[in-house]
Amino acid sequence: MSSSPAGQSGAAKQSSTALVLALGLAAMVVAMAQTQVVPILTLLGTTMHTDAAGVSWVTTATLLSAAVFTPLLGRVGDLYGKKHTLVAVLVVMVLGSLLASTTTSLGLLLVGRVMQGSATAIFPLALSIVRDQVPHEKLHGAMALVSSTLAFGSGLSLVVTGLLTQGGDPDYHSVFWFSTGVSLLALVAVLLLVPDGGHRVGGRVDVPGTLVLAAFLVLLLLGISQGHTWGWGSAKVIGCFAGAVLMAAVWVPVELKVAAPLVDMRMFAHRQVAMTNLAGLFVGFASFAQFIGISYLVQMPERLAGYGFTASVLRASVEYLLPGSLIALVAAPVGGILVRRISARTTLAISGLLGAAGFAWLAFGHGSSASVICAGLFTGAAIAFGYAAMPALIAASVPVQQTGIANGINSISRSLGSAIASAVVTSLLASRTISGLPAGIELPQESQFTLSFAIALAVMVLTAAVAVAGLTKERGRSAPIATSVPAAASAPVATSLPAAEDRGAAEPTDEDAVQPTAPAGEDAVQPTAPAGEEAVQATVPAGPVGS
């Protein structure tokens, strides 16, 4: 006896909901891996008897690990199945968290953090699974929900870390035990609720391209994350940036020559994808500028600085940061609806305008707790709308086999924006300090917070401009691109790249998408979160987050 259409529809809806919840929980693991150590950096330094430079590698190790492993794991997902790869990544995350929760050695803790860094591959893998498994009419809402768990997970992780380390004798091990439990729960959810199957491609791992891309990302992110600590004009930082430029120059011809490149280079010339990645850079900057700016602002000791709210780490997380994370979770499905009904481009423009309003409020009206919290609601909703729009724009521009790598590149853009925001805000806060404070205490002038938020305001205005102008629907097609196909074919193939058309929630046809020469893998580097010190110890941080 066959089941009724209504029963089949109900079962499909239930299955899709369960899948999205499981993948959303897995995506929260990504946020936890990055933010859970931020409130306990000082505690780690004290417990392990190391200085700020030494303990900074607890965050840097995860950042660099992500740069190395995420491209490789993305390609493995294309070849051997995204669910299998996602399960393997979660197993490594569980083991890394378990190691971190049982060691007292800085060296072994760094090994655990390197293992946790592989979790950054979860996000592009999850988005690819969503595109493979979720019905078309629910696709962009599902992508928005999975994306929103990143912001929510960051806020929740900070709150839980603050709660677990309260008291006179805090123990950092409890933080990693918590991440072990959540990672294990996500692993079970993925095993039970995410189906096998989905789109797979043939081919092999592009080892040269993966290694060169990893080297480029490591050098670039290392230079940005350590710039404030090493000095922006130091030989180390200049060497990192010079090396990154060299690796980029090497990577392009490598990818053009191999038969199965990790990334189709024509993707960078596709206007829709390029503009979405530029928007990703801006949204990543704004997201981190809000996070780090509010965190530091509210922890400023009002008695010494003349501004701020003398908030503890826990109060900063619960009272000032968590509301924005919660509104992001609520705004995500609204963003998905807007994408479907009025287009992803318009939703991105709304994101820019909301963010601009929120940062204007933070820049010029941060004198009361209510103002900071309300402004955070605006910026939180803006980030959620941006996260809802960008995967939809990518999905409407590339074929299924390039969804992972395209979202990975967009994630890298957001990660780069976050790293830049961390460096910019940290450098600004350190550049002008209040004079006449007791010895050993350095606090930024209030004007530096105003300037930081004003820069983020300008960045969100640029986000709206990119959405309105850069992604405006064009008529006609761009010129064909002749791409030589190595080894597998003897003649070049002419491929037309579409104009940057905003298709709303529509899936791309073969004609509407960037046509691949070969399948690509997934790649993303997730940003780390801003550090926050207890108000009684409030000083300008030694380096940007991720350092």
pLDDT tens profile 90-131: 999 999 999 999 999 999 999 999 999 889 889 889 988 998
For CA atoms 154, 139, 376, 407, give the dihedral sign.
positive
Q: Is residue 249 part of a domain?
A: yes
Where are any strands of DSSP class E within 138-219?
none
Give the domain CATH number at 119. Answer: 1.20.1250.20
Whether 171 is in a domain gets the answer yes
- Domain range for 184 is 13-537
Bridge partner residues of 493 (DSSP): 483
Read out DSSP for 56-68? Answer: THHHHHHHHHHHH
180 inside domain? yes
Q: ∠152-154-155 over CA atoms, to 5°?
A: 65
Residue 547 included in any domain: no
pLDDT in tens, 493-540: 333 333 333 444 444 443 344 444 443 443 343 433 443 333 334 444
Q: What is the pLDDT along the chain (547 residues), one digit of tens a residue?
A: 444 444 444 555 568 889 999 999 999 998 888 888 878 877 888 888 887 667 778 887 887 888 778 777 877 887 788 899 999 999 999 999 999 999 999 999 999 999 998 898 898 899 889 988 888 888 878 888 888 888 788 888 888 888 888 877 888 999 999 999 999 999 999 999 999 876 666 677 888 888 898 899 889 988 888 888 888 899 999 999 999 999 999 999 998 888 778 877 777 778 888 899 999 999 989 988 998 899 889 989 999 999 999 988 888 888 998 899 899 888 988 998 999 899 999 999 999 999 999 999 999 999 999 999 999 999 999 999 998 899 889 888 887 777 777 777 887 788 788 888 888 888 898 889 999 888 888 899 999 999 999 999 999 999 999 999 877 554 433 333 333 333 333 333 333 333 333 444 444 443 344 444 443 443 343 433 443 333 334 444 444 343 3
In angstroms, how far is the first alpha carbon of the chain from the final one? 62
Does residue 4 lie within any of the structural domains? no
Asked if the structure places residue 344 within a domain, the reply is yes
Q: Which residues contact 153 (CB under 8 A, 6 or more apart)?
A: 27, 28, 29, 30, 31, 32, 35
In a domain, 542, yes or no: no
Domain membership flag for residue 336: yes
- pTM, rounded to two decimals: 0.78
Q: Which of 155, 151, 96, 146 is nearest to 122 (CA)?
A: 146
Burial 166-189 (b: 16+ CB within 10 A, else e): eeeebebeebbbbbbebbbbbbeb
Q: How many structural domains does the chain have?
A: 1
Specify the DSSP element, H or E, that contains 482: strand 481-483
